[in-house]
Amino acid sequence: MGIFALVTGRPGPSGFGSASTAAQVTDGVDASNLTAIVTGGASGIGLETARVLALRKAHVIIAARNIEAANEAKQAIIKENISARVDVLKLDLCSIKSVGAFVNSFNALDLPLNLLINNAGVMFCPHQLSEDGIELQFATNHLGHFLLTNLLLEKMKNTARTTGVEGRIVNLSSIAHVHTYKDGIHFDKINDWISYNDKRAYGQSKLANILHANELSRRLQEEGVNITVNSVHPGLIMTPLMRHSALLMRTLRLFTFWIWKNVPQGAATTMYVALHPKMKGVTGKYYVDCNEMKPSSYARDEKLAKKLWDFSNKLIDGASKS
């Protein structure tokens, strides 16, 4: 797409670009037969994603750590759209126990599952370990979503098989995936505080999001399952995600204001990949400004993706037994 298209908002091959909004890219789409889970749907682009999904008549499950904020988000969506179908369930992605409890709560609703939007995340945190003893950015941004997706996969497969409707999984990554540690993923130092760098740790977790999507896509294709898996970069948006670096980001925006998006624009690529008819059958790709883009060489490394898959399972198994 290039910097000119980013600044001007000029549409790419999809017909959309950086200036497109979530509502615009889904105009005319009827999602009344779909059920969607949006992690981090209580604020920022997650809330806008949930709002527009509900506007397109999907049944939306907001999965959030802060239940009070999630319920406020639900009420705001219903106030705007009285026919909206929105439920709220608690989910703390940095807790393996919480992920399991969320899946049990969702299954108890006896709903189908067509869309899984892995949106939630943390950014540039000081070094901290989760309750399972795993570095917080990796635990929240990647491992929690990895486990959540795996635990919901049979539900999604059954829904796709019984309804004939394609399931879609969307991982929110970031252009920051290019700024990671040497060799991509610090497998041997994932929790090490001495070598920890908050920016590279964030980039590592966002690289993991793409690798996860690519490897899951490959596995589902081998099985012949009617589910696509893609990753997206939403763009630069000032949201609560940046609470650990607010001053830095405000300063950066002062000098780069022309490349920043508002929240409706920030949710556009997620919504394009999740709902647009042109995305039918498209899987294992990375999207920026509603158009396919080639990610970093690490993100395209199939061996690295397989290694991360095995590593993630081992981390979860180890934490579950402790």
Q: Cα Rg for the chain, rounded, in angstroms? A: 18
Angle at 200 between CA 97 and CA 307, to 5 degrees: 60
In whole angstroms, give the CA distance from residue 239 to residue 91.
19
β 35-39/59-64 pair status: parallel
Residue 228 forms beta bridges with which residues? Answer: 168
One DSSP character per residue, 184-215 reads BS-GGGTT-SSS--HHHHHHHHHHHHHHHHHH
Burial of 255 (0-12, 13-18, 19+ CB in 10 A): exposed
Q: Which of 196, 202, 272, 287 is catalytic?
A: 196
Which single residue is written with the structure tokens 């690519």?
Answer: 214
One DSSP character per residue, 85-137 reads EEEEEE--TT-HHHHHHHHHHHHHTT----EEEE-----SPPS-B-TTSSBHH
Kindly provide the b/e burial profile for residues 284-299, where b requires at least 16 CB atoms within 10 angstroms of the residue's own CB: bbbbbbbbeeebbebb
What is residue 278's DSSP assignment? G
Beta strands in the chain (DSSP E): 35-39, 59-64, 85-90, 115-118, 167-172, 227-233, 286-288, 291-292
Residue 196 a catalytic site member: yes
Catalytic residues: 196
